[in-house]
Structure formats: C-alpha cells, structure tokens
Amino acid sequence: MHSMTGFGRASAATDTWHSTIEISAVNRKQAEVVVQAPRELAELEGRIRKTVLATVSRGRIQVSINLDRAQGTAATIQLDAALARAFHNAFIDLGKTVGHALLPTASDYLRQPGIIMLGNGEIDSEHAWLAIEPALKDALAALASMRESEGRHLKEDFLTRIDTLLSFTAKIADDAPGRPVRQRELLAKRLREAGLDLDPADERVAKELALFADRCDVSEELTRLDSHFAKFREYLGAAEAPGRALDFLCQEMFREFNTIGSKANDAGIAQAIVEAKTELEKIREQVQNVE
C-alpha cells in the first residue's frame, strides 16, 4: 500500500546536457501529471507522462525539469536582429517627434529584453531525453520509496483503528440482546404509572414487545460490519492500489453504524456508535491519502 504524498529528486548527465528532476506528489482522486520544463521540451511531455503513469495510479504529480549544458560546452549569444532594427528605428522616429536626432546607445540595446540574450542555444529534445530519462526514472524510484514508507505507517494505523472499531461492535453485540428486556420493563413501568394494570402475558403487550424486538434487531448490521472489517484488512494487503475501495468501505461502515444507532434506541449503544463514528472518521481522513 502506498501513500499519495511524497517527493523524489535525481540528476543525470550526458556529454551535452545535465538534467535535474524533482517530483512532488499530493493526494487527488484521479491521476494528474503536471510537467514544468523548458518550452523546447514540449514534445517530450507525452513520454514524461507515460513514464510517470507507469509508476503512479492516483494523485497530483508535479514534475519539474531543469536542463543545463554540461560543463565545458560553449554557451551562445543570441541576437534578435529584427527587434534590434525596430528598436533603432523607434529612436529615429522619437527624434523626429521631439525635433532633434536621437540614437540608442549600446547600454540601451543591452537593457532592452530580447535583443541580446546569453543562452544555451537550441535544445535538441532527443539528445536532451538521454539525460532526462534516467533522472526521471531515479526520481520516480525515490518518490515511490517515500510513498511506500508512508503507506506502511498508514497501514499500521488502520489496523489499530479497525481493532478499536471491532471492540465497539463487540460491545454493541453484547448490549443489543438485552434491549427488548429493558423495553419490557420500561413498558410495564409506564403502564403502572398510567394506572393500566395489564397482565404482562396480555397478547397486546406481547405483540408490542415483539414488534419492538424486530425493529431494534441489529444482527444484520453487525454481520455486515464484520464483513467490511475483514474486507478492509484484505485490501490493506492487496497488490493493487486500494484507495478507492477503502474509501467505499468507509462509506458503507458509516451507513451500518448510522442504521444501528437509529434502530437500537439505547443510550449505551448510542454512546458506542458516537465513539465508533469518531474513530471511523479518522480512518476516512487518512484513506484520502492512500493511492
């Protein structure tokens, strides 16, 4: 089991390029890959996404790629001649407007963005990929290792909390059979207080108690909860990413506990339900981080 949060960083180099890649991941219902890279590498985004999705099935994955020329390779000066001529002509036009000649100086050209640029030259994406691919795979391996480590901690926490939920359901199972008996005593007390001296064996009393016993029976809900707990443990050990399945089981467990609470009509059971739902909410919050 893996968490959806993590971080990985790696570098690789060829004779021409040196790449450094950082990958960060946060929780998200679906898989989303965001690539931040020089625009010259836009055609590589498809390969990058495919490589990432081979390792990650859920979460928002941000891939940041920094690409530099290898040490010792020559840098280049890039000149935008058309922009330089337009800049020069603009000064001539400005001089005509103010009534005396104006020409740009060397510092004017240097201050104008885009005319003279110190750069790494053109980037051949295929050559750059030779440096990017190994760094990407190493960064993904580091990310996966961190996500797996956090996943182990989450699994231990889930198992502990499932044991706590089992203790609550055991208490409910112990208290639930006595609920009709307590209802019978309560009904007899109310009849006496109302001055209705009915025989406890009266058919109407027996019928009322039978209906109550049927309404407050929670054996089916307890059986389903036991099944959900067992399935939850099974998914924790599954090879496939269990996040969506665990989230669904949490919803089903909430539903069963709500039903028990509405049917039992008992203060002790109601308190156990409140505590169980509080524990289950903690599980559900953590499940949102599971891949």
Q: Do residue 245 and residue 280 come from a single domain? A: yes
Asked if the structure places residue 1 within a domain, the reply is no
Q: What is the pLDDT of residue 172?
A: 86
Task: Say how far apart CA 176 and CA 168 lie, in whole Å.
Answer: 12
In this structure, the answer to whether residues 98 and 127 fall within a common structural domain is: no
Residue 187 has pLDDT above 80, yes or no: no
Q: What is the pLDDT of residue 220?
A: 85
In angstroms, how far is the first alpha carbon of the chain from the final one? 7
Q: Is residue 19 part of a domain?
A: yes
DSSP string of 155-224, one letter each residue: HHHHHHHHHHHHHHHHHHHHHGGGHHHHHHHHHHHHHHHTT----TT-HHHHHHHHHHHHHT--HHHHHH
For the stretch 105-155, pLDDT in tens is 988 888 888 887 655 556 788 989 999 999 999 999 999 999 999 999 999
Q: In the chain, pLDDT over 90 holds for what percent of residues? A: 52
Q: What percent of the chain has pLDDT over 70?
A: 82
The pLDDT tens digits of the residues spanning 64-121 come to 999 888 775 555 667 888 999 998 999 999 888 988 888 889 888 888 888 876 555 5
Residue 178 C-alpha from the chain's centroid = 43
List of E strands, the chain: 6-13, 17-26, 31-36, 59-69, 76-79, 116-119
Residues 198, 133 within the same domain: no
Same domain, 10 and 142: yes
Whether residue 40 contacts residue 78, with contact meaning beta carbons closer than 8 Å, is answered with no
| Reported pTM | 0.68
Give the residue numbers spanning the domain of 175.
150-287
